[in-house]
Amino acid sequence: MTKSRSVNHMSFWFVAYSLLIIMMGTNIPAPLYSLYGQLWHFSTGMTSFLFIMYVLFLIPASFVFGQLSDRIGRKKVLLAGVIVAGAGSLMFAISQNLGMLLASRAIQGIGVGIINGTAVATLSELRPESRKTASLVASVSIAIGTAIGPLYSGLLGEYSPSPIRLPYYLHLLLLFIAFLGVLTVPETIKSGDAPKRLKLPTVPAVIRKPFLISVLASIIAWAVAVFFMTLVPTLIATQMDLHNLALSGAIVCLMLGFSTLSQILFKSLSARSAIYTGFALLALGIVGLVIAIPMQSIFLLLLSTVLAGSGHGPAASGSMSWINEMSPSGSRADVMSIYYAITYLGAGVPVLALGIGAERIGFYQAISIYSGLIIAAAAVVAFIVRAHHAKALKNMK
């Protein structure tokens, strides 16, 4: 292996680690929301709004920094993302009220918006011979980060003397390692070639239709994942009378852990087949969850969590792989930023509606309606994916 290839190999994993650690930070609050709610007296609707606050700041950051990385270079933007993520964790660590909690989520949103699309683009450019591998590593890094975050904070929240401070201070140390790693990453693009003025990001016309279909699939996958990350810990406490932060964190970790495992197991599937497989498992998972609640069945809750996670993995990674393969190299970071922005907003708004609906008609009734709508949407999008594929094959003949 040449020195250049060795440097690129190490840099590839430093970028993946940074993405993982930043995504870990975004999910540290998940099992702590019930504790925050008790301390600062807010409802399930506000818990859902905390995710929306994150999304509202993530989206403009994604649009701006996706373009900046195409212009000023990937490395500068990656470093900025790590620094802002650190500011978000520090803000969480010193939060004293709901207002500071909202500000913390806003800063986290900016940090993820800065790094997400840029990190995926950088991984592809450090491993140009295999975009699919780069997509898989990016998707698995995101999944592992979001999976270990709630387990880590749930354990510390339940058993440490400082449940709402210590998880974030330790996360700052992990981010510092990420910062040192990114400092060694070589620049993967030549800056100065693109116009310096920012523009409204766009998806190239030639890929807009498959882009839209892929994003719809991603929204469905993440609408289930966001539900598990934001409201399932509260559901466990209020509907099943299980008041343990470590258990709540473990449930979220289990869901996202099986998401990671399924991405690896199903990596040989085409994007279309991965989406089909993911949707089928997601549907089984959320139906099982709806049944588990009135039965008060821990076993069925765990099984449903495993099924939902196993469905989220191929649906999310299949969607991302499709986007990454179709994106022109000169605008890949821009396209990925749009993809993430629409996915997060598309997944966050239904969960906000679910949180508000839970206050109006009851938690279980709202979950039942939400699950039915998710299954219906998955069926429609699967039909659209099939029709698009059939048309593409016909055009090739």
Q: For 9-58, how does the pLDDT look when each residue is reduced to its tens digit (9 = 90+)?
A: 788 999 999 999 999 999 999 889 888 988 888 888 888 888 889 989 98
pLDDT value at position 142?
83
Domain that holds residue 368: 3-187+205-396
pLDDT value at position 191?
56
Confidence bin at 393 (pLDDT 50/70/90):
low
* C-alpha closest to that of 16 among 141, 144, 143: 141
CA angle 75, 76, 82 (to 5 degrees): 90
Residue 200 lies in a domain: no
Say which residues have a Cβ less than 8 Å from residue 172's Cβ, sequence separation at least 6.
Answer: 86, 89, 90, 93
Q: Write out the two tokens for 366.
A: 């709202």
Say which residues have a Cβ less than 8 Å from residue 377's Cβ, sequence separation at least 6.
Answer: 220
* Distance of alpha carbon 310 from alpha carbon 304, whole angstroms: 10
Residue 176 lies in a domain: yes
Cβ burial of 94 (10 Å; 0-12, 13-18, 19+) is exposed
Confidence bin at 179 (pLDDT 50/70/90):
very high
pLDDT value at position 330?
67
Per-position DSSP letters for 89-114, written without gaps between them: HHHHHH--SHHHHHHHHHHHHHHHHH
pLDDT value at position 264?
85
Residues 191-241: tens digit of each pLDDT: 555 556 667 777 888 888 889 999 999 999 999 998 988 888 888 888 888
* Distance of alpha carbon 318 from alpha carbon 111, whole angstroms: 25
Confidence bin at 2 (pLDDT 50/70/90):
low
Going by the DSSP 8-state scheme, the letter that residue 244 receives in this structure is -
Residue 163 lies in a domain: yes
Q: Which of 7-11, 252-256, 344-348, 365-369 has the lowest mean pLDDT?
A: 7-11
* Distance of alpha carbon 154 from alpha carbon 252, whole angstroms: 10
Residue 194 lies in a domain: no
Q: Are 252 and 228 in contact (CB under 8 A)?
A: yes
* C-alpha closest to that of 358 among 242, 234, 200: 234
Helix %, strand %, coil % for the chain, to 5?
85, 0, 15
Q: Span 59-79, mean pLDDT? A: 85
Residues 248-306: tens digit of each pLDDT: 899 989 998 899 899 889 888 888 899 999 999 999 999 999 999 999 998 999 999 99
Per-position DSSP letters for 77-90, written without gaps between them: HHHHHHHHHHHHHH
Residue 193 lies in a domain: no
Domain harbouring 230, CATH code: 1.20.1250.20
* Distance of alpha carbon 229 from alpha carbon 232, whole angstroms: 7
Q: What is the mean pLDDT of the chain?
A: 87
Confidence bin at 6 (pLDDT 50/70/90):
low
pLDDT value at position 305?
95
* Distance of alpha carbon 378 from alpha carbon 389, whole angstroms: 16
Say which residues have a Cβ less than 8 Å from residue 213's Cβ, sequence separation at least 6.
Answer: 381, 384, 385, 388
pLDDT value at position 388?
81
Per-position DSSP letters for 189-228, written without gaps between them: S-TTSS-SS-------GGGHHHHHHHHHHHHHHHHHHHHH
| Percent of the chain surpassing pLDDT 70 | 93
Residue 326 lies in a domain: yes
Residue 199 lies in a domain: no
Q: Domains in the chain: how many in total?
A: 1
